[in-house]
Amino acid sequence: MSDTKNNNYSGDSIEETRKKKMEEFKRSFDKSVMNNDYDEPQKVHEYSDETSYRGYSSSSSPLKRKKSNEINSYSDSDTKKRIEKESQKALKQQSKEDKRIEKNKAKRNQKMFKWVWLTMVVLVAIVLSQVIMVGVNDLLAIEREKDPKVAQISIPADPSIEQIAEILEDNGVIDSAKYFTLYANITTEAEYFRQGNFEIETDKDYEAIINFLQSNINRTDIVTVQLTEGMNVLEIATKLHEEGVTSDVQEFLDMCNSDNFDEEFEFLKNMEDKDKRYYKLEGYLFPDTYDFYLNEDPESTIYKLLNNYENKVYYEEEKYYGGSKTTIEELVKDSDYSLDEIIIIASIIQAEAANEEDMYYISSVLHNRLENGVEMGVAQLNCDCTVYYPYREYKDIPESIRGTYKSTYDTNTFIGLPAGPICNPSKTAILAAISPYETDYYFFCHATTDDGSVPYYASTIEGHEYNLSLIE
């Protein structure tokens, strides 16, 4: 009785009180575990009687404890496992939720990045498409085809592609110098463009424009020049310069002494005594009326002259000469002279003859002297037209050398033909050189009258002196 009174608890009441305390402890502990809300354990009194328990305060509120592997003495092993399992489950759930949130955030960011990138690509594509379309339209002349015009342009000598593009843009032939420059730099070279004046339609695409400007055929600055029979290289160069065809006389003369044309023209390959000639191409610049261009390239000009010689002399179609159909080339082969020698003879005939018939008589005199001159006491040709070559007359010789000048072509000082032609003969003179009249003449002279030059021929020196007395 005394023990019961002292504790103020009965047997049943103690059991009920214990159950209530345990339920209260569990609720408090579970809440602390979930909230991570633990403090250092508070040391309490240990009760000696059977109602006492370790680590629990007599206070009505449960103590907060620090997280520990030590579970309250009231927790059995099942409770401990259950609490640990629920704790791990909660942590896993939280980790999974965090990952889900991060994943959703990443998806949102990635989606936003794609939209921004796509927007930028579209904007750039729109800008580039506009730029490209402008270039394509100009390249294909799409806009310019709607209202075509004819523009007059002038291309300078040795232009750059950039210069040409600016000229075309300034004159409305193209819309963009930059696009044309880009295209031309890829597809062609500046050196292929021709200088000169052009009339070009503004509805041409880039490729058509380039082809147009790289052909002399389309130039409008055409100069018609007549090169007469008997003109020599110096006179031709001067004439072309006066007409505006050649800008540099010396450049033209240098080209006439070059080997630039040998491979293309067969008649130049077998030329003899090249190094002894004043001008290698003398005799082969065929006299005719030509269409040249202002400031034309000298090489192009000479090509025209040589081509004309080739077509009208060297490779001429068959014609009736002396009653039979043949060519000049075949006639030369049947003669005792090479083509080059025939041209030299023809050049002297051209320079000396008063008219076409006179050419055949003078040819006979030259042939007779070349074949029998030594026996007849006239070994030299003695032609006045050779004395001052490459100059026409004494007054044409430059003053600085006039007093001492001696031509290596002077037929008064050596026997036979000079090293080369002294002028560019006509086709008639060439035919006369091939087929002279058959005579016994070794001398000729001319009297100047109001009606022109009158020829006189003689077989002997006496007869020649008599003819000279008539014309003095």
* 445 shares a domain with 331: yes
* 462 shares a domain with 326: yes
The distance from CA 259 to its chain's CA centroid, rounded to whole angstroms, is 27
Distance CA 437, CA 424 (A): 22
* 256 shares a domain with 244: yes
Query: Is 426 domain-assigned?
Result: yes
Within 8 A by CB and 6+ apart from 42, the residues are 57, 63
- If one counts the domains in the chain, the total is 4
* 306 shares a domain with 194: no
* 258 shares a domain with 192: no
Domain endpoint, select from 218, 247, 268: 218
* 232 shares a domain with 178: no
- Positive or negative, the Cα torsion across 38, 43, 46, 51? negative
pLDDT at 330: 86
* 457 shares a domain with 326: yes
Distances (CA, A) of 246 to 144, 250, 304: 37, 10, 14
Within 8 A by CB and 6+ apart from 251, the residues are 298
pLDDT at 103: 76
In order, the DSSP letters of 371-429 are HHHHHHT--S---GGGSSTTSSSGGGS-HHHHTT---TT-TTTSSS--SS-SS---HHH
The distance from CA 136 to its chain's CA centroid, rounded to whole angstroms, is 20
* 162 shares a domain with 197: yes
Query: Is 126 domain-assigned?
Result: no
Domain endpoint, select from 202, 218, 234: 218
Domain holding 16, by residue range, is: 2-75
Distance CA 354, CA 345 (A): 16
* 326 shares a domain with 462: yes
- Positive or negative, the Cα torsion across 102, 107, 108, 114? positive
- CATH classification at residue 174: 3.30.1490.480
* 334 shares a domain with 416: yes
* 355 shares a domain with 463: yes
Q: Pairing state of beta strands 319-321 and 289-293?
A: unpaired
**pTM of the full structure:** 0.66
pLDDT at 92: 77
pLDDT at 234: 96
How many Cα atoms sit within 13 Å of 358 on the Cβ side?
A: 19
Domain endpoint, select from 261, 287, 314: 314
Query: Is 237 domain-assigned?
Result: yes
Distance CA 433, CA 442 (A): 15
pLDDT at 238: 96
* 295 shares a domain with 328: no
Phi, psi angle pair for 330, to nearest 5°: -70, -35
Query: Is 112 domain-assigned?
Result: no
pLDDT at 154: 93
The CA R_g of the chain, rounded to the nearest whole Å, is: 58
Distance CA 277, CA 339 (A): 16
Kind plus residue range of the DSSP H or E element containing 154 = strand 150-155
Kind plus residue range of the DSSP H or E element containing 151 = strand 150-155
Query: Is 152 domain-assigned?
Result: yes
- Is there a contact between 411 and 349 (Cβ–Cβ < 8 Å)? no
Query: Is 105 domain-assigned?
Result: no
Query: Is 16 domain-assigned?
Result: yes
Per-residue pLDDT of the chain (472 residues; tens, 9 = 90+): 444 444 444 445 666 766 676 676 666 655 555 555 444 444 444 444 444 444 444 444 444 444 444 444 445 677 777 777 777 777 777 777 777 777 777 777 777 666 776 777 776 666 665 567 666 877 877 777 777 889 999 999 889 999 999 999 999 999 889 989 999 999 999 999 988 899 999 999 999 999 999 988 899 999 999 999 999 999 999 999 999 999 999 999 999 999 999 999 988 987 888 889 999 999 999 999 999 999 888 999 999 999 999 998 877 766 666 666 788 888 898 899 999 999 999 999 999 999 999 999 999 999 999 999 999 999 999 999 999 999 999 999 999 999 999 999 999 999 999 999 999 999 999 999 999 999 999 999 999 887 778 999 999 999 999 999 988 7
Query: Is 383 domain-assigned?
Result: yes
- CATH classification at residue 230: 3.30.1490
The long-range contacts involving 169-178, CB below 8 angstroms and separated by at least 24 positions, are: 172/144, 172/202, 173/200, 173/202, 173/204, 173/209, 174/138, 174/144, 174/206, 174/209, 175/134, 175/137, 175/138, 175/143, 175/144, 176/134, 176/135, 176/138
Distance CA 172, CA 177 (A): 10
